[in-house]
């Protein structure tokens, strides 16, 4: 019930971080995976590490007009994709006074517009196949207010509406739409933010009921579950994978 054998998955932002971990777990569960991003060299290095069932394809999700062409290329080269994970993103951390309109637009263009364009392009392929799973990677910042990341929080919160609307619209076509909201996960970005701030690190751990950071694979296996037959009656769900941080006191 947890096998993804025979499935083709697309993971945007799949060359590093959580995208890499999700691609690894999907491949381990039997899926063929196409990792997508702007930097071809990074993607090819990641694909070589992930194994023969993973391929790299260069594409910038902000190029909205190219999404349909990209999906057609994927179908021609690999077959019809049954899984899309909208993971690509950028991060800006600044006080609101320094957060420019261009900063805000850049974050929204990658997260919201990019994910919308990729989803819009893949839905006809999934409808033709009579099956599909679309997964958005949101964030605990959609539940918990954190300072200095207004654009990021806004973009991740927008995913909540996209998931619910699309789940309602696409359910009759047997296309499930869900999201994962990661908490504090051990990535290079986390260490960059916290290694020089032990007081903040301890504050985060104190409010996390499991009293630890998550691993990238925690997100990867959650993605496998939501894309697998075991989750066949789950749609419109936003699953926190945060050790309880979004409810911890």
pLDDT at 247: 87
> 164 pLDDT band (50/70/90 cuts)?
very high
Task: Count CA atoms closer than 13 A to 166's CA, side-chain side.
Answer: 24
- Which pLDDT belongs to residue 24? 98
pLDDT digits (tens, 9 = 90+) for 180-198: 999 999 988 788 778 888 8
Residue 78 burial (CB count, 10 A): 15
pLDDT above 70 covers a percentage of the chain that reads 100
State which residues form the domain around 217.
Answer: 8-241
Is 111 contained in some domain?
yes
103: in domain: yes
List Cβ neighbours of 111 (8 Å cut-off, separation of 6 or more). Answer: 88, 89, 90, 152, 155, 156, 158, 159
Greatest CA separation for the chain: 53
Lowest mean pLDDT, pick from 102-111, 168-177, 198-207: 198-207
152 among known catalytic residues: yes
User: Does residue 160 lie in a domain region?
Assistant: yes
Q: Is the pLDDT of residue 44 over 70?
A: yes
Give the residue among 139, 123, 134 at the shortest CA–CA distance from 187: 139
Cα first-last separation, the chain: 36
Check which CATH number belongs to the domain holding 153 and give it: 3.40.50.720
Average pLDDT, the chain: 95
> What is the DSSP secondary-structure string of 67-94?
HHHHHHHHHHHH----EEEE--------
Which of 70, 152, 221, 225 is catalytic? The answer is 152
Mean pLDDT of 157-167: 97
What is the reported pLDDT for 249?
A: 67
What is the mean pLDDT of the segment spanning 57-81? 97
pLDDT for the residue 25:
98
> For the whole model, what pTM was predicted?
0.95
How far is Cα 220 from Cα 234, in angstroms, rounded to an integer?
Answer: 17
Residue 192 lies in a domain: yes
Note whether residue 193 is domain-resident: yes
Looking at the domain assignment, is residue 22 inside a domain? yes
Total domains, the chain: 1
Query: Would you say residue 78 lies in a domain?
Result: yes
Q: What is the DSSP letter of 191?
A: H
Asked if residue 112 lies in contact with residue 155, where contact means CB atoms within 8 angstroms, the answer is yes
Q: Does the pLDDT value for residue 119 go beyond 70? A: yes
């Amino acid at each position: 019930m947890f096998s993804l054998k025979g499935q083709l998955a697309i993971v945007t932002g799949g060359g590093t971080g959580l995208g890499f971990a999700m691609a690894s777990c999907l491949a381990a569960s039997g899926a063929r995976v196409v990792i997508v991003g702007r930097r071809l060299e990074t993607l090819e290095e990641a694909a070589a590490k992930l194994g023969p069932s993973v391929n790299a394809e260069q594409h910038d999700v902000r190029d909205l007009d190219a999404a349909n062409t990209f999906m057609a290329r994927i179908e021609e080269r690999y077959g019809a994709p049954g899984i899309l994970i909208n993971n690509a993103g950028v991060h800006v951390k600044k006080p609101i006074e320094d957060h420019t309109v261009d900063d805000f637009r850049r974050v929204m263009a990658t997260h919201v517009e990019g994910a919308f364009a990729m989803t819009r392009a893949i839905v006809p392929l999934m409808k033709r196949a009579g099956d599909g799973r679309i997964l958005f990677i949101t964030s605990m910042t959609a539940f918990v207010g954190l300072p200095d990341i207004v654009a990021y929080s806004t973009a991740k919160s927008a995913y909540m509406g996209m998931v619910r609307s699309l789940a309602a619209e696409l359910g009759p076509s047997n296309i499930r739409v869900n999201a994962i909201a990661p908490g504090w996960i051990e990535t290079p970005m986390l260490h960059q933010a916290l290694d020089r701030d032990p007081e903040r690190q301890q504050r985060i751990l104190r409010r996390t009921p499991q009293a630890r950071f998550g691993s990238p694979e925690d997100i990867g296996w959650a993605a496998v579950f939501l894309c697998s037959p075991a989750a066949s009656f789950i749609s419109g769900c936003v699953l926190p994978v945060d050790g309880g941080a979004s409810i911890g006191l």
